[in-house]
A and B are shown apart, each in its own frame.
Chain A
Amino acid sequence: MKTENSAVDIDRNKGDFFYPEVHVRDAGVGLSERTVHYIADVKDDPDWVREYRLRGLKTFLEKPLPTHWASKDLEAIDFNKIRYYLSPGTEPKRSWEEVPDDIKRTFERLGIPEQERKFLAGVEAQFDSEAVYSNIKKAVGEQGVIFVGSREGLKNYPEIFRKWFGKVIPIADNKFSALNSAVFSGGSFIYVPPGVKVKHPLQAYFRINAENFGQFERTLIIADEGSEVTYMEGCTAPKFNTPTLHSAVVELVALKGAKIQYITVQNWASNVFNLVTKRGLAHENAEVKWIDCNIGSRLTMKYPSVIMKGRKARGEVLSIALANDGQHQDTGAKMIHAADETTSNIVSKSISIGKGRATYRGLVHVPKHLKNCKNNTECDALLINATSRTDTYPAITVRGTGNAVQHEASVSQVSTEQIFYMQQRGLSEAQAMSLSVNGFVNDLVRQFPMEYSVELKRLIELEMEGSVG
């Protein structure tokens, strides 16, 4: 039994279990207009959302797979064999007691209720397509902070929801954002009123329980002027025999002077396709920071972005990727500078083990006539075995004088001298290797909230087991 203070479950085996399905709402297998209507009916969507979904479907069907630059593995996804909506057909509960027993057991096994009591300001738990639990600490709620599922957000706060929904990531941004726009369900809606600083993190937990299921959550976070919020998400799924698809869209809006920190620890089972679009809009003096750790999944394609729209806005992406046998972590960051004096920072560290492949893909764009914009990008890759692979594909466009952009990347391996030295001091080769790898990510992990850094280090140790010798 694991009892330490763990923010999210990232022990892969721990998430590898499932309970029999008890879904009342089921959109069936495959994707058509009928599927979209079914979802819109079940969710009782207003007309504009239904139309939005249909436009999403049309765009999805029109757009080709991006295999001219992305992995051919995308072709392994059979969109006609996926189930696009599954839910127990009940409203999310405010207390764990009301959550149906089998679902509650799932989250208890993952340690969610326990963590909520300990240090979280609010928790939402999503089981397949819908949230089954959603709660926020009373004190935080009284400050006017809204933290609900996307469906409730749409129903109860339409004036805020509609104003920003789909504005940061348009339907046609890419094939998978279009797919999400067609069949989205679940995810969080958060609004933080002006000046409110939410001290503790809000957390969402995403769980896939059904085979052949596609999860398409949609998260929208709006931090009003001068407010601050940290959001964390964790995800697990049991390992089924057939691949599962997770394709989320996350939009962040940081209004003047606001700060949003978004933390992801992705630990999907190793046959999940994780194709996610994440983008933040930072207004004047605002800050959007993505902390993105990718450990699980078969193929992850995710490039968290920040559009710095207002003067002195800041964007940051800290990314750690671990690619083991059979995994391709295609991650990175995009920084779009759209105002003077905007600054962005990207730090990416990847580790490839066995036959794993880690790819960094980045975009930095400083268009015309901007002054004093700065970007710093560092990507470091560590190769553990001779069969491991790593790639770096940045694209940097800078126009005009008065801006400074620099990109640096390096690829290295654990040095044999280091290992030898540690073995001399009585460590086994595996221990030495794991210590060395932890040293590689240490300066980045130190910037993470405490609970995460402890977990990550432990996880890296786990992943390193059996990788040498």
Chain B
Amino acid sequence: MTRNQTATLEKEAAPILSGPGGTRECPDWFQDQQREAWMQFESLPKPTRKDQAWRFANVSLLDLSPFKYGGTLTEKERATILEQSRGLEEVAGRMIFAGDELLERDVISDQLKKRGVIFQPLERAMVEHADLFRKYFMSQPAILGSAKFAALHQALVSSGTFLYVPRGVEIELPIEIFHWLNAENDSAFPHLLLVTDELAKVTVIEHFRSVNEHASGFACGVNDLVAGPGAKVTYVCAQNWADNVIALQMNTTTVDHDASAMSLNLNLGSRYSRFESLSRLTGEGGRSDLLAVAVAKHQQEFDARTLQDHVSPHTASDLLYKNALDDRARTIFGGLIRVEPHAHFTDAYQKVRNLLLSDDAEANSMPGLEILADNVRCTHGATSGQVDEDELFYLRTRGIPVPVAQRLIVTGFLDEVVQRLDHPAISEHLHRLIEDKFSENRR
């Protein structure tokens, strides 16, 4: 805590583009890595629309000059944030961050602790569990276009969540993490390092929110999710930043043999949100489910890039992304199934569906396949359409007014994805967030 406070004080109100600030109480090796990452950030070129990885994206929105490090919170602000950090009813553990500052940590039960579960802020884990940390922290390069921003994240990250679940431990209740942006032009660099050992089981939900629903801000997060042999990892992201926020999130999931990973990204907030999801299937029998739902309104732009990377034979992946677009909103889906040489007997599926609700909304889909092995079953599909007139008519004959009927159809369309989670409480929570977005009631 003290480290964070000193760091925050020194960096206060400094623009993030002025570089990593002040002395930090991190190990030397970590500071060296950060300096190196900063140099990398500065040397890598800015993305342009001509880059395949940024095709269709409105790259002009990525002006980082206004953003600064978050200042120290007042007692009142702190209390407001804690008071508003309401998510699931029952959780196994909880962390609440405002910018880079950890406000509160609800520790996990003694029983879990006794069985070896580690749930710590990142800066503590890098000292106390340096081996694990160094092995997995940002060990996969960001190859989906945002190498520059991953470097920025690495250079500036100063806190985050470290969660380690040892062999055979199953955590039934979800772990919950809140990230808040507070004042105008604040920035955050959220990080989750999740490592599960053999046959472990865990579910994590992250909430991204803004205190001030008109404030602009910048979030640049990286998650390393590691599913050990036979482990079961579920990751859920409920992104609900304020409408002026620019957000970049780069997630890498590694799935070992017989493990299964499921991720669901719900995108509701921000002005521009780019979500890169890389899922690497490195062991036989591994399975990865990639799910996403976006409700895009006004001039929001959601930019999803995915890679289902089948490295090992006998692996399966299934992607389902659904977007509902209203007003002048835009969505981009750029996905690739890659079956590496020798990854025979791959079973991969990829589907993106866009529901257009207005004449100015625009959906871009680039579902891709690269197959370098045989004996594979790979299919992908992309559809773009609108609310089915017959369904609408049916509901109207039952006396349901058009706007209500339309909303029912759209939420039903999106619910198909949300219901794939086998956590009813989380599905219910996400469903409520989606409904709130439609009724413009954001919290």
Q: How far is the CB of B217 from chain A (nearest CB, A)?
A: 29
Interface residues of A in 378-422 (CB under 8 A from B): 381, 383-413
Q: A69 on the interface (CB 8 Å rule)? A: yes
Interface contact B366-A396, CB-CB below 8 Å = yes
Set B51, B362, B385, B387: member contacting A399, Cβ < 8 A: B362
Proximity bits, B360-382, A CB within 8 Å = 1, else 0: 11111111111111111111111
A109 vs B332: C-alpha distance in the bound complex, in angstroms?
53
Q: A458 on the interface (CB 8 Å rule)? A: no
Q: How far is the CB of A351 from chain B (nearest CB, A)?
A: 12
Across the two chains, which residue of chain A brings its CB closest to B55?
A: A395
Interface residues of A in 94-120 (CB under 8 A from B): none
**Which residues from chain A contact B23 at a C-beta distance below 8 Å?**
none
Which of A399, A405, A410 lies at the interface centre, i.e. has the most chain B CB atoms within 10 A of its CB? A399
Q: A138 on the interface (CB 8 Å rule)? A: no
**Which residues from chain A contact B291 at a C-beta distance below 8 Å?**
none
Q: How far is the CB of A70 from chain B (nearest CB, A)?
A: 10
**Which residues from chain B contact A369 at a C-beta distance below 8 Å?**
359
Q: A68 on the interface (CB 8 Å rule)? A: yes
Interface contact B377-A407, CB-CB below 8 Å = no
Across the two chains, which residue of chain B brings its CB closest to A388?
A: B374
Proximity bits, B367-411, A CB within 8 Å = 1, else 0: 111111111111111111111000000000000000000000000
Interface contact B366-A368, CB-CB below 8 Å = no
Q: B357 on the interface (CB 8 Å rule)? A: yes
Interface contact B382-A407, CB-CB below 8 Å = yes
A405 vs B364: C-alpha distance in the bound complex, in angstroms?
11
**Which residues from chain A contact B358 at a C-beta distance below 8 Å?**
400-401
Across the two chains, which residue of chain A brings its CB closest to B350?
A: A409
Interface contact A386-B382, CB-CB below 8 Å = no
Q: B114 on the interface (CB 8 Å rule)? A: no
A384 vs B369: C-alpha distance in the bound complex, in angstroms?
17
A270 vs B376: C-alpha distance in the bound complex, in angstroms?
28
Interface contact B377-A411, CB-CB below 8 Å = yes
Q: B302 on the interface (CB 8 Å rule)? A: no
**Which residues from chain A contact B385 at a C-beta distance below 8 Å?**
403-406
Q: How far is the CB of B311 from chain A (nearest CB, A)?
A: 16
A393 vs B378: C-alpha distance in the bound complex, in angstroms?
14
A318 vs B385: C-alpha distance in the bound complex, in angstroms?
24
From known contacts A368-B360, A400-B360, A401-B356, infer whether A395 and B379 are also in contact, taking CB-CB under 8 Å: no
Q: B58 on the interface (CB 8 Å rule)? A: no
Interface contact B364-A68, CB-CB below 8 Å = no
Interface residues of A in 196-249 (CB under 8 A from B): none
**Which residues from chain A contact B51 at a C-beta distance below 8 Å?**
68
Q: How far is the CB of B315 from chain A (nearest CB, A)?
A: 15
Q: B135 on the interface (CB 8 Å rule)? A: no
A397 vs B367: C-alpha distance in the bound complex, in angstroms?
12
**Which residues from chain A contact B341 at a C-beta distance below 8 Å?**
387
Interface contact A405-B367, CB-CB below 8 Å = no
From known contacts A400-B356, A411-B377, infer whether A393 and B371 are also in contact, taking CB-CB under 8 Å: no
Across the two chains, which residue of chain B brings its CB closest to A407?
A: B382
**Which residues from chain A contact B367 at a C-beta distance below 8 Å?**
392, 394, 407, 409
**Which residues from chain A contact B359 at a C-beta distance below 8 Å?**
368-369, 399-402
From known contacts A391-B368, A401-B357, infer whether A385 and B374 are also in contact, taking CB-CB under 8 Å: yes
A401 vs B388: C-alpha distance in the bound complex, in angstroms?
11
A51 vs B371: C-alpha distance in the bound complex, in angstroms?
46
Across the two chains, which residue of chain A brings its CB closest to B56?
A: A397
From known contacts A391-B368, A394-B365, A398-B363, infer whether A412 and B50 are also in contact, taking CB-CB under 8 Å: no
Q: B52 on the interface (CB 8 Å rule)? A: yes
Q: B265 on the interface (CB 8 Å rule)? A: no
Interface contact A405-B384, CB-CB below 8 Å = yes
Set B362, B369, B380, B386: member contacting A390, Cβ < 8 A: B369
Q: How far is the CB of A409 from chain B (nearest CB, A)?
A: 5
Proximity bits, A345-368, B CB within 8 Å = 1, else 0: 000000000000000000000101
A395 vs B352: C-alpha distance in the bound complex, in angstroms?
12
Interface contact B379-A410, CB-CB below 8 Å = yes
**Which residues from chain A contact B376 at a C-beta distance below 8 Å?**
383, 411-413
Set B373, B374, B381: member contacting A407, Cβ < 8 A: B381
Proximity bits, B22-34, A CB within 8 Å = 1, else 0: 0000000000000
**Which residues from chain B contact A412 at a C-beta distance below 8 Å?**
376-377
From known contacts A397-B363, A398-B354, infer whether A392 and B368 are also in contact, taking CB-CB under 8 Å: yes
**Which residues from chain A contact B378 at a C-beta distance below 8 Å?**
410-411
Interface contact B382-A406, CB-CB below 8 Å = yes
Q: How far is the CB of A360 from chain B (nearest CB, A)?
A: 9
Interface contact A394-B374, CB-CB below 8 Å = no
**Which residues from chain A contact B360 at a C-beta distance below 8 Å?**
368, 399-400
Across the two chains, which residue of chain B brings its CB closest to A401?
A: B386
Q: How far is the CB of A189 from chain B (nearest CB, A)?
A: 36
A390 vs B378: C-alpha distance in the bound complex, in angstroms?
11
Interface contact A381-B373, CB-CB below 8 Å = no
Interface contact A396-B369, CB-CB below 8 Å = no
**Which residues from chain A contact B56 at a C-beta distance below 8 Å?**
395, 397
From known contacts A386-B373, A403-B385, infer whether A392 and B362 are also in contact, taking CB-CB under 8 Å: no
Q: How far is the CB of B139 from chain A (nearest CB, A)?
A: 28
Across the two chains, which residue of chain B brings its CB closest to A406?
A: B383
Interface contact B371-A408, CB-CB below 8 Å = no
Proximity bits, B71-98, A CB within 8 Å = 1, else 0: 0000000000000000000000000000
Set A384, A398, A410: member contacting B384, Cβ < 8 A: A398
Which of B50, B371, B373, B377 lies at the interface centre, i.e. has the most chain A CB atoms within 10 A of its CB? B371
Q: B344 on the interface (CB 8 Å rule)? A: yes
A396 vs B344: C-alpha distance in the bound complex, in angstroms?
29
A404 vs B56: C-alpha distance in the bound complex, in angstroms?
20
Interface contact A386-B374, CB-CB below 8 Å = yes
Q: How far is the CB of A379 from chain B (nearest CB, A)?
A: 9
Interface contact B382-A394, CB-CB below 8 Å = yes
Interface contact A408-B364, CB-CB below 8 Å = no
Interface contact B368-A384, CB-CB below 8 Å = no
**Which residues from chain A contact B374 at a C-beta distance below 8 Å?**
383-386, 388, 413
Interface contact A411-B371, CB-CB below 8 Å = yes
Interface contact B380-A409, CB-CB below 8 Å = yes
A393 vs B384: C-alpha distance in the bound complex, in angstroms?
17
Proximity bits, A142-154, B CB within 8 Å = 1, else 0: 0000000000000
Across the two chains, which residue of chain B brings its CB closest to A369?
A: B359
Interface contact A69-B361, CB-CB below 8 Å = no
Interface contact B380-A408, CB-CB below 8 Å = yes
A409 vs B363: C-alpha distance in the bound complex, in angstroms?
19
**Which residues from chain B contact A395 at a C-beta distance below 8 Å?**
55-56, 364-366
Which of B341, B369, B370 lies at the interface centre, i.e. has the most chain A CB atoms within 10 A of its CB? B369
A410 vs B371: C-alpha distance in the bound complex, in angstroms?
11
Q: How far is the CB of A214 from chain B (nearest CB, A)?
A: 28
A413 vs B370: C-alpha distance in the bound complex, in angstroms?
15
24 residue pairs bridging A and B, Cβ less than 8 Å apart: A381-B369, A381-B371, A383-B371, A383-B373, A386-B342, A393-B366, A396-B382, A397-B363, A397-B364, A397-B365, A399-B360, A399-B361, A400-B358, A400-B359, A401-B358, A403-B386, A404-B383, A404-B385, A406-B381, A406-B385, A407-B382, A408-B379, A409-B381, A410-B380
Residues of chain B at the chain A interface (Cβ within 8 Å)? 50-52, 55-56, 341-342, 344, 354, 356-387
Top 10 A-B pairs ranked by shortest CB distance? Answer: A398-B384, A400-B359, A392-B369, A401-B386, A410-B379, A411-B378, A383-B374, A407-B382, A396-B365, A399-B362
Using A386-B342, A395-B56, A406-B383 as known contacts, list a sample of 18 further A-B pairs with CB atoms less than 8 Å apart, ordered by residue number in A: A366-B384, A369-B359, A386-B344, A389-B371, A390-B370, A390-B371, A392-B368, A395-B365, A397-B56, A398-B384, A399-B356, A400-B356, A401-B358, A401-B359, A406-B382, A407-B381, A407-B382, A409-B367
